Structure 1
Amino acid sequence: MPLLDDRNVRLLPGPAAGRGEVIHWDDPMAGGLAGFGVRVLSSGRRAWVVRFRVGTAQRFVTLARIEALSVRKARAKAGDLLAQARLGSDPRAEIERRKRALAKPELTMRDLIDLYLERDAARRLGAASFAGVRHSLQTVAAPLHGLPPTAGERRVLAELVQSVAGTRGPRAADLFSVHLSRTFNWAIQAGIVDVNPAQRLPRMVTNGSRDRVLTPLELRAIWHLAAEQGSYGAILRLLILTGQRRQELGGMTWDEVDLDAGVWTLPGTRTKNRRAHVVPLSTTARPILLEAATARGGGYVFGLGGRAPFKGWSKCKARLDAAVAAAGVRVRPWVVHDLRRSAVTHMAEIGIAPHVIEAVVNHVSGHRAGVAGIYNRATYAAEKRDALQRWADHLQNLVDPRSACGTVENPLERHRPTTIFGSQSVAAPQRMSGVSLPRRPRHGSTAFVPRRRGG
């Protein structure tokens, strides 16, 4: 519990994994004010808060974001509210009364949702993500639309979430809860409401975060079947090779790619943590992009005609699942994001250091968090390239029939791979120890080079 000041309040840690917020309280033993603190959200936003009691009820009031009010002024404002509470009044009730007097009487939850979508979600989210949030708040939340924002009691919201779980499934219900909570968090920052009734609603899915990691044989099967899936197959292979996020690869542009230097540079506007990220391209990844270059028709690498980011994730995944079933391959249910987790897990298994893996996938925690992460960022360039090349070589041994793993039973005995973007077969299957395995040409000593289409 530190004495809050304008310097250390920006350095205080955020909430633990899985938590939405943490509050750091002022230290009264060091001259601070009891009941005054700073709330740090998982998004990184920080705001001054004050806590007091009215009778047996505990109250919280958000004063302002730390950028809008210095610690001295915020502490003084908190002291005034605490003094009012000690005299028997309810400062929060008075604040809400004044806001209701100033607010438009016709403001409803639908109005609040429209404001959130227009002023925050539309500016912050990509097109696909925004469409999902808009559907959730405008369609699923329809029973709330006629209510005023201050009438959003937890009981009402919890009943609606339970209803969504029954009609749309538990995961959809949890996602709906997240969208509601973010709407109310934005409304708090905008000064429209003071509390978030959607915070900490019961989760419908109780098994925690996903932990699905594809086995080497499953990765091998998907790698070979991806050869028949066009741009989607190329994206899947690059996801396995790089461990990046699907939206980052789906939205890749040629301006971000330098094939001569062998790097893919993601600007901060396209990464989840808003930090620019450089992904070294292994000798297995580069030929996939070279193959894409032969079909180049616009600024995007994988979008239709290069005019927009890649779309159709669900349809392409369903088509791949059908191909897996038709090939008689045993692959447990998986989602595209599991490829990222699988790449991270298998990189760790071959001895790549955790802090290097975090640098590879642009994940900021542990070794790369805080000031140390800022100063060490540049030093990981060589380590990242070495790690991704080691992983690509290891993966090549899993999928290449002439590697040391060629004696492993091939899950695609009758599968004939094709080039990623073309339609011609790369090679006929080869018999090894009674198992039909696809032969692949090499570039150098390790990389698979897909045949270019055309002359």
Structure 2
Amino acid sequence: MSAAFVRTVTKPGKYTDGHGLFLKVEASGAKRWVQRIVIRGKRTEIGMGSASLVSLAEARETALENRKQARAGGDPLQAKRASQSLLSFEDAARKVHKIHEPTWRNKKHAAQFLSTLETYTFPRMGKLKVSEVTTADVLAVLQPIWLAKPETARRVRQRIGTVMKWAVANGWRADNPAEAISQALPKHTEAQQHRKALPYDKVPEFLDALNASDAGDLTKLALEMVILTASRSSEVRNADWSEFDLEQGIWTRPALRMKSKKEHRVPLSSRALEILAEARKLGRGEGLVFPGTKIGKPLSDMTLLKLTKALGYDVDVHGFRTSFKTWAQESTNTPRDVSEAALAHVVKDKAEAAYARSDFFEKRRRLMEQWASAAVTRQF
């Protein structure tokens, strides 16, 4: 049999080749490959696909491999069925999600595992069998968001890896492609590398460790204030009592202390007000809210960083702003403008800035209360 014959033959019938392989031509003109073979003493036939999709050379190669496997006591038909029964990546991900269900901290945390995969992964490789997913597929998923959304990208990669580890454990593949692409991904900018962030669902755990530590009371209160107000370290450390309206729950930061060089109002959550009440009891109620050991000087940035490291967390104090931003993106329906205003970010686009007249204060008040409540009560 030749490749030309396979292309041109039209007469219905069976045309044999070698190793039990034959081409079956139907009256309709359809052509398909079939192999007649003895498996463990029983004669059977294995369908090998349409001749329009499988070439003569490919059919011969598969037929020879089947013959070798059968002569060695194996069952190529069973292997084929097992291959066909493999789960797609999406089905495997949903199964892994179900298996881990008893360990999820809460329903929202469980939902986030699937929601990120549904958004970024399933459209690209959800239908692929877990055995067929390659590093190129994982790279195609991560590359568009690796620099734009580093925290989200990290979570997506971690969750793809969790599914792949399960596939490896089941013997469906020998590697985890999510772990093999580090060198292929671009490096984050220096600023991103130097500002390691804590996943937002770990923030309650951090606060528990902070409150249980033997650090100075004012230091602990200052670091918690940084986290719950999503502020820059300097903004909290240099805070003065004159900036606070405790009755209205508003902290007004003067322009000279803002990166944007514009006055910024911060809505204070219930817990933030409690922190200030505790700080007032420890101080004089005037001047610096969080003074350092030297009179008239604030706590140093290094003091907060050293405390963070001492608690066993390899993250930067500034990174808690990323924790807040990621939480707002993934766990709330907060518009981007509102979360950006909460971080006191400057609108870089001049045309957009010309129309950005609102500071979304009341919306930010609700958001910051929600963030503080979630961080303290673990309701992420």
Task: Classify the TM-score, shorter chain.
Answer: 0.3 to 0.5
Taking structure 1 as the reference length, what is the TM-score of the superposition?
0.38
Taking structure 2 as the reference length, what is the TM-score of the superposition?
0.45
Query: Which structure has the highest helix share of the two?
Result: 2
